[in-house]
Amino acid sequence: MALDDNGRVVLVEDDFYLQRRRVLHLPGGGCGGQSPQEAALRELEEETGLVAGDVHQLGVIDPMPAVTSARTFLFLATDLRPGLRRRDATEIGMTQQWRQFQDAVEAVRNGEITEAGSVAALLLAQPARR
């Protein structure tokens, strides 16, 4: 979760094949041999063009332990500045939007944001934002 100095969260929206719809979520992706923190910073820059000066872990979830051994590492990135955007072919149709943090949390509550990692990160970040 990337949070700017004005209390806004950057979200991305992309087509997900299995859901057969566009899904609004926080930037993220696989580690590809990197540490989870390195991968989080890389994915943030690839998907949003932002670089974070500070990042710390919010938590770790096992989104579907009966189906996959995959773990999701959740981070809060702050001190944002422009970087380079290097989207790969699978991210061509991805769009980006900014929302106030509380508006993004409300989007979880009303079912607009449903991706497990995004839901968990936004809810875990609430106490830190108070």
Could you identify the residue written with the tokens 């939007």? 97
Distances (CA, A) of 107 to 55, 72, 80, 81: 23, 20, 23, 25
| Backbone angles phi and psi of 104, in degrees to 5 | -70, -40
- 117 in Cβ contact with 28 (< 8 Å): yes
Which residue in this structure is represented by tokens 């979520």?
25
**Residue pLDDT, tens place only, 42-79:** 999 999 999 999 999 999 999 999 999 999 999 999 99
**Would you tell me how many other CB atoms lie within 10 Å of the CB of residue 74?**
22
What is the set of domains in the chain, with CATH numbers?
8-129 (3.90.79.10)
* 14 closest CA partner among 109, 99, 87, 92: 92
Q: Are 78 and 53 in contact (CB under 8 A)?
A: yes
| CA-angle at 25, arms to 109 and 33, nearest 5° | 135
Distance CA 42, CA 111 (A): 28
pLDDT at 19: 74
Nearest Cα to 101, choosing from 68, 73, 124, 70? 124
Q: Is 128's pLDDT higher than 70?
A: no
Per-residue model confidence (pLDDT) at position 92 = 80
Q: Which helix (H) or strand (E) holds 50?
A: strand 50-61
Average pLDDT over residues 91-120: 95
pTM, full prediction:
0.91
